[in-house]
Amino acid sequence: MRPRRVVVVVSVLALIPALAACSVGMALSGEENPDLGAIHLGAARSEVELHLGAPIKSASLEDGRRADVYKYQIGNEPSAGRAIGHGMMDVLTLGLWEVVGTPIEGVQGETYHATITYDRDDKVVDIKTKKGASTI
């Protein structure tokens, strides 16, 4: 085997672990679906934030109420099965699978926004959800 060919083969083999990290890592690092059943009229603001996290926007309304916008994803749970599948395809295709696997993982899940209105006591009085952009 010629020295130049050996260098090329060694270089390709050395790149495989680096290429294999993208889709595999993305499949393992998704977000758990929030428990939307716990968010209901009369729920406390602290309970809502326990499930949806901190709001991305907040606005005080004229009558003393408050409207918060929360962003969350559905369908992007971490998956060992998807990660193993991506890893196997990386090995079988010598890392070329990343050209397909990374974009697939990039579009996993759908983003939603919930606009939740609270009364003066920080209890939920209105819930509106929308796929994509926020409502405030």
Which pair of tokens denotes residue 118?
Answer: 């609270």
| Residue bearing the bigger pLDDT, 11 or 68 | 68
> What pTM was computed for the model?
0.69
Model confidence pLDDT, tens digit, residues 52-100:
999 999 999 989 999 999 999 998 888 899 999 999 998 998 888 988 8
Tell me how far apart the terminal alpha carbons of the chain are, to the nearest angstrom: 66
Cα dihedral 81/84/89/94 (nearest 10): 160
**Domain boundaries of the chain, sorted by first residue:** 3-131
When pLDDT is averaged across residues 24-35 and rounded to a whole number, the result is 86
- Phi, psi of 22, rounded to the nearest 5 degrees: -65, -65
